[in-house]
Amino acid sequence: MSFVSKLIKRQSPLLGIDLTCTSAKLLELSRSGNRYRVENYAVAPFSPNAVIEQDIKDAEEVSSAIRAAVNISKAKASHAVIAMYNASVITNVIQMPNNFSDEELEGYVEIEANKFIPYSLDEVNLDFATIGASAQKEEFSDILVVASRRDHVEKRVDAVEDAGLTVDVVDVELYAVERCFTLISHKIPNHNENTLVAVVDIGATMTTLTILQGGKAIYNNSEVLGGRQLTEEIMQRYDLSYAKAGYAKKTGDLPEDYHSAVLEPFKGVLSQQISRLLQFFYSSGQHNKVDHILLAGGCVSINGLVDSLQEQLGIPTMVSDPFADMIISPSVNVTALNNDAPALFVACGLAMRGLQNA
């Protein structure tokens, strides 16, 4: 398993499996000429306490949801690529002499990794890849080093493999976002290597901001806020169970005061949170404005959210649809896929990983 190293060529694709705080999202892609094709997909929910702040607490329930996603989707592949959430991963770029052998490189990486990883190397999964010539030192290369605590990795791998699948690659959410963005970048007006795009993924419990410049991530941060807060407010105000509140949120079947008393205030809080994340980014470097916002995540479907955010933030905003230019298999429910598309952003980037060397 690896974070960043190249895949060995495979005869079949890998299932992209995104484990969020509320569901297992599964996507199977194939290639048809120069285009991707959606073969199968499914979203299988689990209870609110199965995964807390992206840490798996009930592995059995998560595995059961993955099995359900496989059965619902009728996916053919049995090998998968999963992602570690960004906060659990440590990355750094180091410089290495070009004349090192593979064995010398591995030893050098371990020595350098000890300088910035706050754990014993026995406790982490470590991977690295050469990303190009170093701009800082002649006759050196830049090496991307990625590490995550072994227990965090094993929890996710075990949950997937207990569902009867084999994990071939452990990726990182950030890299999946970069990969999926390549499908959408041409839809960003005047997009070029200097364009700053804020990918805002609004999930059930977390809102994650990733700043891309020229399609490469230069900043990432998250705040605890998402659609579950809206569901809980509906529960409390209208005395509904969590399941009934979630269903009512999707259908809009709620009392007349819902929009003014619950939905609009939530949109306002969400806008403030995204503005706060953007301000953290502005204060961290030389940029003071992004050019576009690209929305992902399950909360994007909230009625009027896009217009509200664009108006309050003053930045052109669009919803992500990674499948807009793909071929869709006849077995896939196109309406359901269109509704779920923004929430499948990371899963799509993972499934693409499985076809990189196909």
Residue 209 and residue 252 share a domain = yes
pLDDT at 169 over 80: yes
- All residues at 6 or more sequence positions from 336 whose CB lies less than 8 Å from its CB, including other chains: none
Residue 240 and residue 295 share a domain = yes
pLDDT value of residue 166: 95
Query: What proportion of the chain, given as a percentage, has pLDDT over 90?
Result: 68
Residue 223 and residue 287 share a domain = yes
Residue 267 and residue 128 share a domain = no
Residue 204 and residue 243 share a domain = yes
pLDDT value of residue 275: 96
pLDDT tens-digit series, residues 299-339: 998 888 999 999 999 999 999 999 999 999 999 999 999 99
Residue 237 and residue 200 share a domain = yes
Residue 261, token pair as written in the block: 């008393």
Residue 21, token pair as written in the block: 């705080």
pLDDT value of residue 99: 85
pLDDT value of residue 101: 83
Of 103, 126, 150, the residue at which a domain comes to its end is 150
- All residues at 6 or more sequence positions from 285 whose CB lies less than 8 Å from its CB, including other chains: 218, 219
Residue 164 and residue 32 share a domain = yes
pLDDT at 47 over 60: yes
Residue 300 and residue 228 share a domain = yes
Span 138-166, average pLDDT: 92
pLDDT at 2 over 90: no
Residue 48 and residue 76 share a domain = yes
What's the CATH code of the domain at 143? 3.30.1490.300
Lowest mean pLDDT among 4-8, 125-129, 162-166, 203-207: 4-8
Query: What proportion of the chain, given as a percentage, has pLDDT over 70?
Result: 96
pLDDT at 175 over 80: yes
What's the CATH code of the domain at 193? 3.30.420.40
Residue 248 and residue 118 share a domain = no
pLDDT at 82 over 60: yes
Residue 108, token pair as written in the block: 């050098």
pLDDT tens-digit series, residues 23-37: 999 999 999 888 999
Please check whether residue 340 is in contact with residue 41, taking contact to mean a CB–CB distance below 8 angstroms.
yes
Give 250's pLDDT tier (boundaries 50, 70, 90). Answer: confident
pLDDT value of residue 5: 43
pLDDT at 348 over 70: yes
pLDDT value of residue 8: 40
Span 60-84, average pLDDT: 96
pLDDT tens-digit series, residues 101-121: 878 888 888 998 999 999 898
pLDDT value of residue 357: 54
pLDDT value of residue 1: 46
pLDDT tens-digit series, residues 187-197: 999 899 999 99
Residue 293 and residue 217 share a domain = yes
The 3-class SS string of the chain reads: CCCCCCCCCCCCCCEEEEECCCEEEEEEEEEECCEEEEEEEEEEECCCCCEECCEECCHHHHHHHHHHHHHHHCCCCCEEEEEECHHHEEEEEEEEECCCCHHHHHHHHHHHHHHHCCCCHHHEEEEEEEEEECCCCCCEEEEEEEEEEHHHHHHHHHHHHCCCCEEEEEEEHHHHHHHHHCCCHHHCCCCCCCCEEEEEEECCCEEEEEEEECCEEEEEEEEECCHHHHHHHHHHHHCCCHHHHHHHHHHCCCCCCHHHHHHHHHHHHHHHHHHHHHHHHHHHCCCCCCCEEEEECHHHHCCCHHHHHHHHHCCCEEECCCCCCCEECCCCCHHHHHHHHHHHHHHHHHHHHCCCCC
Residue 36 and residue 173 share a domain = yes
**Number of domains present in the structure of the chain:** 3
Give 12's pLDDT tier (boundaries 50, 70, 90). Answer: low
Domain that holds residue 34: 1-87+151-184+320-358
